[in-house]
């Protein structure tokens, strides 16, 4: 493995303190900081708009619609209903994109660019050890990413909640996009994207390669968490009559089907209620006596969110340790020493 040369630091007569290092990082990444602040402000304002005026207008339109169902001609504000639905989707997608935006920026600029053009080695000559350089590189953006993404997630959860019970087309808590954008999983994924970008920057020392690597890592981790989420907490099983058209119980479904007279489980034939003559024949042939549904109710929302978040943060911590170990191997284990002036 190629070792990065760590020049001996020159004597400057004073040591570089943590505040000056933070200021240097903020100046270096000022454009990204301004873009991040603008993104949080704009999306936050849109979420306030969605959860406030748009939700109120849509709720009023649905009230008009439900009040005149029995009337032959009904006048209601369809534009308000559609506008709320569209902007809720747009803001949800934007919040879900935050971890990928952080990963792309981190992979393209956080460590790879400075290693690629040699400014990292220059920083190590200014009384800044490689480990301290990387710690600052991760700590300062981590605070900003946590605060910004946490604010957006909190505002999204509020915007979603204002439509519950008022807007007929409001998304359920277990909708895939809503579930992720409403909780701490998205904040943890943003931190994972940040660290994965720094890690790949140390591995590749090439902006484009580390950008691709960080995006792939973030996407892979989120896909794994998405598949694993239904299995991270004990489920609830609900048995219901075949007189219903579908199994009872709403939430994150793990499996559903029909139970036979012996208690065996069979996949749901997707027929409908037993009151239908054709379905009655199907259920009789299967010896089905009831529906079953293995699922997570709404009370499992936070246990699932927090368990998923803990797993993501554990992976993030492992990537952080791996990044420091990789940097140590490439720069040497001996710390740089100051030259004493004559």
| Tens-digit pLDDT profile for residues 184-228 | 999 999 999 999 999 999 998 888 999 999 999 999 999 999 999
> Do 176 and 217 fall within a single domain?
yes
| Torsion sign, CA atoms 136, 32, 185, 298 | positive
> Does a structural domain hold residue 5?
no
Range list of β-strands (E), the chain: 236-240, 252-260, 265-267, 288-296
> Does a structural domain hold residue 158?
yes
> Does a structural domain hold residue 337?
no
pLDDT reported for residue 323: 94
pTM: 0.86
- Domain carrying residue 318: 18-232+309-331
- The strands making up 236-240's β-sheet, listed across from edge to edge, are 236-240, 288-296, 252-260, 265-267
> Do 90 and 140 fall within a single domain?
yes
> What mean pLDDT do residues 310-330 have?
94
> What mean pLDDT do residues 246-269 have?
91
d(CA 316, CA 188): 8
> What mean pLDDT do residues 119-146 have?
85
pLDDT reported for residue 52: 95
pLDDT reported for residue 39: 97
> Do 242 and 116 fall within a single domain?
no
pLDDT reported for residue 3: 52
d(CA 62, CA 339): 75
What letters, b where the CB count within 10 A reaches 16 and e where it falls short, cover 102-111?
bbbbbbbbbb
> Does a structural domain hold residue 303?
no
Radius of gyration of the chain (CA): 27
CB 295, CB 252: distance < 8 Å: yes
Selected residue with higher pLDDT from 19 and 227: 227
Residue 75 has pLDDT above 90, yes or no: no
> Do 136 and 215 fall within a single domain?
yes
To which residue do tokens 């239904």 refer?
230
Residue 28 has pLDDT above 70, yes or no: yes
> Does a structural domain hold residue 36?
yes
d(CA 56, CA 174): 23
Pairing of strands 288-296, 236-240: antiparallel
pLDDT reported for residue 13: 41
Question: Bridge-partner residues for 290, per DSSP?
Answer: 259
Cβ partners under 8 Å of residue 20, min gap 6:
none
| Other CB atoms within 10 Å distance of the CB of residue 164 | 12
Q: How many domains does the chain contain in total?
A: 2
d(CA 272, CA 244): 7
> What mean pLDDT do residues 297-319 have?
97
pLDDT reported for residue 72: 61
> Do 204 and 266 fall within a single domain?
no
Residue 155 has pLDDT above 90, yes or no: yes
Does residue 128 sit in helix, strand or coil? Answer: coil
pLDDT reported for residue 154: 97
What's the pLDDT band for 69 if we cut at 50, 70, 90? low
**Helices and strands (DSSP H and E) totals, the chain:** 12, 4
> Does a structural domain hold residue 342?
no
> What mean pLDDT do residues 34-47 have?
97
| Other CB atoms within 10 Å distance of the CB of residue 262 | 7
Q: Which of 7-21, 112-126, 189-203 has the lowest mean pLDDT?
A: 7-21
CB 9, CB 124: distance < 8 Å: yes
> Do 327 and 285 fall within a single domain?
no
Residue 1 has pLDDT above 50, yes or no: no
CB 6, CB 121: distance < 8 Å: yes
> Do 40 and 167 fall within a single domain?
yes
> Do 107 and 197 fall within a single domain?
yes
Q: Which of 93-102, 263-272, 307-316 has the lowest mean pLDDT?
A: 263-272
d(CA 279, CA 294): 22
> Does a structural domain hold residue 124?
yes
pLDDT reported for residue 17: 52
> Does a structural domain hold residue 29?
yes
> Do 225 and 241 fall within a single domain?
no
> Do 280 and 314 fall within a single domain?
no
> What mean pLDDT do residues 62-70 have?
78
> Do 103 and 139 fall within a single domain?
yes
**Residue 261, φ and ψ in degrees, nearest 5:** -65, -20
* % of the chain surpassing 70 pLDDT: 89
Residue 127 has pLDDT above 90, yes or no: no
- Average pLDDT of every residue of the chain: 87
* % of the chain surpassing 90 pLDDT: 64
pLDDT reported for residue 186: 97
pLDDT reported for residue 10: 44
> What mean pLDDT do residues 220-247 have?
94
Selected residue with higher pLDDT from 43 and 128: 43
pLDDT reported for residue 22: 80
> Do 268 and 318 fall within a single domain?
no
Selected residue with higher pLDDT from 302 and 124: 302
pLDDT reported for residue 340: 40
């Amino acid at each position: 493995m190629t070792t990065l040369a760590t020049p001996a630091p020159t004597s400057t007569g004073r040591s570089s303190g943590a505040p000056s290092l933070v200021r240097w990082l903020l100046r270096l990444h000022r454009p990204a900081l301004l873009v991040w602040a603008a993104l949080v402000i704009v999306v936050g304002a849109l979420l306030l708009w969605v959860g406030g005026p748009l939700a109120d207008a849509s709720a009023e339109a649905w009230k008009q619609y439900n009040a005149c169902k029995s009337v032959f001609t009904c006048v209601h504000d369809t534009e308000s209903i559609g506008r709320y639905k569209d902007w809720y989707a747009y803001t949800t997608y934007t919040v879900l994109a935050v971890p990928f935006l952080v990963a792309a920026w981190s992979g393209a600029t956080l460590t790879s660019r400075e290693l690629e053009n040699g400014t990292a080695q220059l920083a190590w000559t200014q009384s800044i050890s490689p480990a301290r350089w990387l710690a600052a590189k991760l700590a300062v953006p981590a605070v900003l990413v946590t605060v910004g993404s946490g604010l957006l997630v909190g505002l999204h959860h509020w915007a979603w909640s204002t439509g519950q019970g008022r807007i007929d087309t409001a998304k359920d808590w277990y909708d895939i996009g809503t579930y992720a954008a409403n909780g701490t999983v998205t904040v943890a994924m943003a931190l994972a994207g940040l660290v994965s970008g720094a890690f790949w920057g140390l591995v590749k020392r090439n902006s484009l390669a580390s950008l691709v690597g960080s995006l792939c890592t973030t996407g892979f981790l989120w896909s794994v968490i998405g598949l694993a989420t239904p299995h991270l907490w004990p489920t609830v099983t609900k048995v219901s009559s075949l007189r219903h058209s579908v199994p009872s119980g709403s939430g994150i479904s793990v499996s559903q089907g029909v139970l036979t007279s012996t208690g065996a489980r069979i996949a749901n034939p997707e027929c409908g209620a037993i009151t239908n003559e054709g379905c009655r024949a199907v259920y009789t042939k299967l010896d089905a006596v009831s529906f079953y549904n293995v699922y997570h109710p709404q009370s499992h929302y936070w246990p699932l969110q927090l368990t998923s978040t803990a797993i993501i943060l554990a992976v993030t911590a492992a990537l952080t340790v791996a990044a420091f170990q990789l940097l140590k191997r490439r720069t040497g284990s001996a710390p740089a020493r100051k030259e004493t002036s004559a």
